[in-house]
């Protein structure tokens, strides 16, 4: 299926972000099946290719329904080099529909700022093309790497949420579009370079209901 190019494909200084295809199954299982990438995830890693295939199918279904979704994170100039997966997707959260940003990256990429670069691309999409008014992040308190990524992106810890009663409450972080513009080192207009369509018609309907929803950013291993 063809998606709006300014949503399905984006480039940053080091990354090429694209919509997933069936050919990505092996990479999904390799990354989501790695215990190291699930250190802070109570659900643990995927245990079969069937489970990975179901996850990939759900991503593709979201793209078909909304015109955006999880990206395949590739090295810019080397689209065959998959570094991980991440992006926006609508999910129910406590009875409220939220736009969730999740990411999971190969361990070899950790400590190189890839999660931060991906996060900036997602924030630009949320506040730019999708015209949403807030981005929220849910992170485990012991997940220091992701908390550092959130702080670098400008998100502040504003609340806690007991999403799993047998574990300490997760931390809720938040950023608004005006605050994003003040984040040091944020590239101005970099991600919109060469993109002629200012706002997507696909997903634009979400803006009319933005007061009823917030964006949740679920942060995983960075």
Q: Whole-model pTM?
A: 0.80
Q: Which string of DSSP letters, residue by residue, matches 59-120?
A: HHHHHHHHS--EEEEEETTEEEEEEEEEEEEEEEETTEEEEEEEEEE-GGGTTTTHHHHHHH
Which pLDDT belongs to residue 143?
92
Contact of 69 with 202, CB cutoff 8 Å: no
Give the separation between CA 16 and CA 9, rounded to whole angstroms: 7
pLDDT at 90 over 60: yes
Choice among 37-41, 66-70, 203-207 with the minimum mean pLDDT? 203-207
DSSP 170: E
Which pLDDT belongs to residue 186?
61
Closest CA to 152 of 215, 222, 73, 88: 222
Q: Over the stretch 93-147, which tens digit does the pLDDT of each residue have?
A: 667 777 777 889 999 999 999 999 999 999 899 889 889 888 887 888 999 999 9
Domain spans in the chain, listed from the N-terminal domain onward: 5-218
For 166, residues 6+ apart whose C-beta sits below 8 A from its C-beta are none
- Top CATH class of 5-218 equals alpha beta
For 16-29, letters b (16+ CB in 10 Å) and e give bbbbbeeebbebbb
Choice among 33-42, 58-67, 164-173, 206-215 with the minimum mean pLDDT? 206-215
Strand, helix or coil at 26?
helix
């Amino acid at each position: 299926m063809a998606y709006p190019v300014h949503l399905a494909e984006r480039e940053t200084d080091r990354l090429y972000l694209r919509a997933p295809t069936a050919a990505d199954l092996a990479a999904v299982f390799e990354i989501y099946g790695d215990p190291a990438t699930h250190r802070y995830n109570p659900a643990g890693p995927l245990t079969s290719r069937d489970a990975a295939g179901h996850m990939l199918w759900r991503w593709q279904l979201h793209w078909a329904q909304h015109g955006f979704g999880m990206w395949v994170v590739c090295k810019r100039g080397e689209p065959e080099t998959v570094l991980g997966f991440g992006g926006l997707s609508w999910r129910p959260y406590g009875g409220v529909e939220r736009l969730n940003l999740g990411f999971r990256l190969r361990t070899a990429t950790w400590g190189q700022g890839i999660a931060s670069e991906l996060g900036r691309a997602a924030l630009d999409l949320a506040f730019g093309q999708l015209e949403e008014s807030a981005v929220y992040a849910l992170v485990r308190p012991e997940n220091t790497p992701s908390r550092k990524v959130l702080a670098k992106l400008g998100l502040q810890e504003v609340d806690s949420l007991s999403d799993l009663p047998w574990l300490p409450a997760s931390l809720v972080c938040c950023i608004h579009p005006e605050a994003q513009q003040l984040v040091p080192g944020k590239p101005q207009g970099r991600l919109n370079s060469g993109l002629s369509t200012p706002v997507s018609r696909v997903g634009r309907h979400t803006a009319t209901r933005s007061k009823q929803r917030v964006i949740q950013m679920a942060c995983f291993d960075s």
